[in-house]
Homo-oligomer: A and B are copies of this chain.
Amino acid sequence: MKTFVLLFQCKDKKGIVARLSDFIFRQGGNIVDADQHSTDPSGGHFFIRLEFLVEDKHCDKNFLESGLVTIAGEFNAEYRIYDKDDILRMGIFVSRPDHCLFDLIYLWRSGELRVDIPFVISNYERHREFVQQYKIPFYFVPATREERKESELLAHAASSDFLVLARYMFLLSGDFLASYGKDIINIHHGFLPSFKGANPYKQALEKGVKVIGATAHFVTEKLDEGPIIAQAVEYVSHEDRLENLVRKGKNLEKRALASAVVSYVDYRIIKYKDKTIVF
């Protein structure tokens, strides 16, 4: 029994659901989860996520692709099909703050996050012991603002299917993004679009906001501007001094990042323009 996930998007048109569900039925599949979204009920963009079980051992991803490519052609659509048995390899970049690293490792270890972790890269040597106890390769790459050592990072990153910047302090260049070519998820410790850049909690304190937040988003070339995947927020008051905002914020960062990564690994995210659909 195999489980597949199909993500499919195109300009809205009649009959897409019928065509796709008929196709799945013909392969002997049973749809166990269907989520659909249209940007505009009277003719916008159409998105669907279909999760289905297939009993036939001969039905694999390639086999399904051969049929889907035809349907996609009919609707001028983009699609991706995933076999849920394939485990994604999640590379981690992290600087000194370790709460997100700790949390990701816990989620992975406890089976809540179904990934392999091919490596953890850090400019902070002291994370080595914690990481290596779980038999995860640890690479110390002492980047600085002037010398980010991107070619070294890139060489390591090659063994991953996607990257998580779990509080990584250096901006990755457009060249790096282009060469890596796969998805990168970042956690920003602020409620975007407010408080971009450095020290967002300090900015929040100075502004006197009554709510703080954290934002997980895809990385693009523009600092803290990529499509938002998940946000978490908490109420604060004048009593919360900076260290308290940071403490509460760490919680929010863990929650937003975990939520984003779990959705990603479960193939629930579709990027569309500068935004995301998270089914």
Contacts and interface: CB of A to CB of B under 8 A. Distances in A.
A98 interface: yes
Interface size class of A (residues with CB under 8 A): 35 or more
A194 B204 CA distance: 12
A110 B99 contact: yes
A94 to B, nearest CB: 14
A25 B31 contact: no
A72 interface: no
B18 A238 contact: no
The secondary structure that dominates the A interface is: mixed
A53 interface: yes
Contacts of A106: 99, 102
Contacts of A250: 112
A188 B102 CA distance: 24
A176 to B, nearest CB: 24
Contact of A191 (B17, B32, B36, B191): B191
Nearest to A24: B18
Nearest to A31: B17
Interface in A189-247: 191-195, 207-211, 213, 227-233, 235, 237-239, 241, 247
Contact of A208 (B22, B227, B255): B227
A135 interface: no
Nearest to A243: B112
B210 A193 contact: no
A28 B14 contact: yes
A192 B21 CA distance: 39
A276 interface: yes
Nearest to A36: B34
Interface stretch (A37-45, A58-66, A143-151): A37-45
A231 B231 CA distance: 16
A35 B32 contact: no
Interface string A10-33: 001111111001101100111111
Contacts of A98: 110
